[in-house]
Structure formats: structure tokens, C-alpha cells
């Protein structure tokens, strides 16, 4: 009986003995893997940067707004405005099924065709320099408007709305309204980036050309002769800055479908400056953000809501830094010693427990109390 218990003790401790004798290389391999694997340290600091710019990358699809009427504006609390932005963006016309019809760098306006009326109301004569009328919106005597887009831009700078494009010779000859009618039922995918001041502000996608009227930002919607605009949209991508490992952009893939006739969809974004430094010392200056959403219908309150999708952003005064580092060699040695010492300790405890158990059983056998 005692011999059987002794064999049982050896059998029970065999895995621990094997672990010590045979598996030490494997344990060392695991410890070495942990040593070589980089860990990320996180730290919060006050953002003291000044005079920087903020890059906003976007890719948004509007299934029910044609590219010909969709515009992009950006403004901030410093007073800087970028109205009807056309640089660094691309628009794709989409059919009702979401298929791409045409890709173009900007959407509103049409290519110039036949020469419209001169400023004096006459037609262009042979060898005469052409100068189209701005229909009262000229900023100077030599100001010319040679296309519908230039007339609309002159009206915008004056803060005037263009109520009937067919009364403008350039717009009529270019078929401005006809083009809008031809694109009825189409959608638009707009993507690109904005470079803005690193202060609170907003950017928005809305129908019509924007202008300032009594210090109020409005859009000229009369030219499109429509009462309602469907601002249903899908945000394929929205980032503030470069990608870095582990970043989560909460608006990527978000979509919203409009149920009411018209309104303003608003995103309120808190941008957190972020610095990511990899194990090789390469630094990425970027941002993370959180967001809340709100829809404001056209008849909400006393003020009319401009139809569109608005992104209001503000910056956090706290900066997050992520730094990749390796575990120190001393920590690696400590881990190896802890693993090996732990195995010896556990096996010693089990050996002691079984040994004392054997002695107790043997003693009971000697006095005849063990049956």
C-alpha cells in the first residue's frame, strides 16, 4: 500500500518535474516573446500647441441630393470662412441604385457654351473682347461675368439670391435649370479633405450657393425651385488627422434616412488631439473624437432651418499621447526568474502535501487504524 502511494506521489509530481526539466526552453521562449513585444503607454497632458491647422478627411454619400446642387462650406470662430469649397474635393454622380455616373472635381455650374450678351446688351462683334454682364452685381466697372457660375458668384458676394436663373442670359444659354431637372433623382458621393484652423468651427454640406445676409449665413435655394430637400446620407469615412494604430472613428459607416420633408441634421463633435509614437520613434500627430447627433426639422422653433448636414466641432484642451516601448531587460530577467521560481514553489508545496499525507497514512497503518 505504501509503495502504491509513493508511486502516486511520483506520478503526480511528474508534470511539474517535466516542466522544470524539459519545458524551460519553451518558458524562456514565451518570456522572450513578451520582452520583444512592444507595450503602449498612455499619458494625458495639456495641449499647448499654437498656430496649427486641422485636417478633416471626409467621404459622404447623399443618395437623394444631386451633385449639381450640393455645396460644401467651412467656417470657424476666428471669422475665417471657406464658402462653396471646390479645391481638394471630388464629386461622383450616382444613379438611384448607387452606381457611379460621372466623376468631376466640382459640381455646381455648367461648362460655358455659346457667348451670351455683352454688358451693353449687344452681341460679341468680330475681334471684340468679350465681357458678360453681371446683371447689377458688378464690383467694378471692368468686372465681367462670362458664365452662369460667375454671375451666381457675383450675386453671392453681394448677398443677393438668384431667384430665377432663366432671367440670366448666361444661365439660360448654359441650361442651368435644365441640368438640375436632368439630374433629378440622382445622388452624390463627395470626398476629399479640408485644411482649417485648429479652433472650434463647423463645416456643412447643403444645397445651394451660400452667402452672408445681415451677418447670417444663408443658402440660395430659390434658384432650384424646390421646397424640400432630402438630406439622407451615409458617412463612409470621417477623420480628423492621420490614421494611427488603434484609432476608432465613431462615424465611419454611419447612415441616416430622412423621414420628414426637410430639415437640418447636426453632429456635435469633441476633438481630442492625439500623438502616437511607435517603437522606432516615428511620431504621428492626429486626433480622436466623440460625437452626439441631433435632427432639427424645418419648422422647429421660429427660425427656418437650413437643410443640410452640419458638423460642429470643438477641441479638447487635453492631449493624449500613446508611446510604444519595449519591456526593459531587467524586467525580462525578473519575469523569467518569477516563472521558474513559481514552478519550483508550487511543485515543492505539492510534494510537501503528498509527503505528509503519506506519513499520516503510514502511521495509521502501523497502529492499525487504517482499514
Mean pLDDT, 10 residues at a time, the chain of 371 residues? 50 49 56 66 90 93 91 91 88 91 59 54 57 84 84 82 79 80 88 94 89 70 73 96 92 91 90 92 93 81 71 96 79 73 79 75 68 53
3-state secondary structure of 267: strand
Distances (CA, A) of 318 to 65, 194, 234, 242, 270: 38, 23, 30, 18, 11
Average pLDDT, the chain: 79
Q: Model's pTM, two decimal places?
A: 0.71
3-state secondary structure of 70: strand
Q: Do 292 and 358 fall into the same domain?
A: no
Per DSSP, helices labelled H in the chain are: 2-21, 24-36, 148-158, 169-174, 176-182, 329-366
Q: Which residues pair with 269 in a beta bridge?
A: 291, 313
Domain of 190 in residue numbering reads as 46-108+181-323
Q: What is the pLDDT of residue 41?
A: 86
Q: Do 200 and 296 fall into the same domain?
A: yes
Q: Is residue 251 part of a domain?
A: yes
Q: What is the pLDDT of residue 192?
A: 95
Q: What is the pLDDT of residue 155?
A: 84
Q: Do 101 and 224 fall into the same domain?
A: yes
Q: Which residues contact 149 (CB under 8 A, 6 or more apart)?
A: 108, 109, 110
Q: Do 272 and 360 fall into the same domain?
A: no
| Overall domain count for the chain | 2
Rg (CA), the chain: 36
Q: Is residue 164 part of a domain?
A: no
**Which triple of cell numbers denotes residue 265?**
441634421
CA 282/CA 159 separation, integer angstroms: 48
Q: What is the pLDDT of residue 182?
A: 80
Q: Do 319 and 229 fall into the same domain?
A: yes
Residue with cell 471692368: 142
Q: Do 270 and 355 fall into the same domain?
A: no
Q: Is residue 163 part of a domain?
A: no
DSSP 316-355: -SEEEEEEEEPPPHHHHHHHHHHHHHHHHHHHHHHHHHHH
Q: Do 207 and 342 fall into the same domain?
A: no
Q: Do 204 and 61 fall into the same domain?
A: yes
Per residue in 102-138, pLDDT (tens digit) is: 776 654 444 444 555 565 555 555 545 678 888 888 8
Q: Which residues pair with 55 in a beta bridge?
A: 195
CA 299/CA 219 separation, integer angstroms: 17
Do 248 and 220 touch, CB atoms closer than 8 A?
no
Q: Is residue 216 part of a domain?
A: yes
Q: Is residue 125 part of a domain?
A: no
Q: Do 87 and 63 fall into the same domain?
A: yes
3-state secondary structure of 149: helix
Q: Is residue 118 part of a domain?
A: no
CA 60/CA 178 separation, integer angstroms: 26
Q: Do 185 and 250 fall into the same domain?
A: yes
**Which triple of cell numbers denotes residue 173?**
444659354
Q: Do 248 and 355 fall into the same domain?
A: no
Q: Which residues pair with 54 in a beta bridge?
A: 196
Q: Do 298 and 350 fall into the same domain?
A: no
Amino acid at each position: 500500500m505504501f509503495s502504491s502511494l509513493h508511486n502516486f506521489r511520483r506520478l503526480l509530481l511528474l508534470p511539474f518535474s517535466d516542466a522544470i526539466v524539459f519545458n524551460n526552453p519553451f518558458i524562456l521562449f514565451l518570456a522572450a516573446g513578451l520582452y520583444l513585444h512592444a507595450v503602449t503607454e498612455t499619458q494625458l497632458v495639456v495641449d499647448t500647441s499654437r498656430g496649427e491647422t486641422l485636417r478633416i478627411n471626409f467621404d459622404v454619400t447623399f443618395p437623394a441630393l444631386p451633385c449639381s446642387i450640393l455645396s460644401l462650406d467651412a467656417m470657424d470662430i476666428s471669422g475665417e470662412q471657406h464658402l462653396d469649397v471646390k479645391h481638394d474635393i471630388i464629386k461622383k454622380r450616382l444613379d438611384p441604385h448607387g452606381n457611379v455616373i460621372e466623376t468631376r472635381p466640382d459640381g455646381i455650374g455648367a461648362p460655358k457654351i455659346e457667348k451670351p450678351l455683352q454688358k451693353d446688351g449687344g452681341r460679341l462683334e468680330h475681334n471684340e473682347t468679350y465681357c458678360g454682364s453681371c446683371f447689377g452685381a458688378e464690383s467694378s466697372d471692368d468686372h465681367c461675368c462670362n458664365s452662369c457660375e460667375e454671375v451666381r458668384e457675383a450675386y453671392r458676394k453681394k448677398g443677393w439670391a438668384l431667384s430665377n436663373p432663366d432671367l440670366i442670359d448666361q444661365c439660360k444659354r448654359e441650361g442651368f435649370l435644365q441640368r438640375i431637372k436632368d439630374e433629378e433623382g440622382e445622388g452624390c458621393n463627395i470626398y476629399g479633405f479640408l485644411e482649417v484652423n485648429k479652433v472650434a468651427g463647423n463645416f456643412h454640406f447643403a444645397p445651394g450657393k451660400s452667402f452672408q445676409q445681415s451677418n447670417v449665413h444663408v443658402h440660395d435655394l430659390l434658384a432650384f425651385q424646390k421646397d424640400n430637400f432630402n438630406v439622407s446620407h451615409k458617412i463612409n469615412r470621417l477623420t480628423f488627422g492621420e490614421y494611427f494604430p488603434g484609432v476608432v472613428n465613431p462615424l465611419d459607416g454611419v447612415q441616416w434616412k430622412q423621414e420628414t420633408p426637410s430639415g437640418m441634421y447636426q453632429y456635435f463633435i469633441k476633438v481630442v488631439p492625439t500623438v502616437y509614437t511607435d517603437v522606432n520613434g516615428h511620431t504621428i500627430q492626429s486626433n480622436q473624437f466623440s460625437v452626439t447627433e441631433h435632427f432639427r426639422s424645418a419648422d422647429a422653433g421660429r427660425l427656418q432651418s437650413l437643410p443640410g448636414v452640419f458638423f460642429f466641432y470643438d477641441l479638447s484642451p487635453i492631449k493624449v499621447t500613446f508611446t510604444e516601448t519595449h519591456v526593459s531587460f531587467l524586467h525580462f530577467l525578473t519575469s523569467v526568474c518569477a516563472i521558474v521560481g513559481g514552478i519550483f514553489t508550487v511543485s515543492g508545496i505539492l510534494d510537501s502535501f503528498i509527503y505528509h499525507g503519506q506519513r499520516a497514512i503510514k502511521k495509521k497503518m502501523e497502529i492499525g487504524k487504517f482499514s
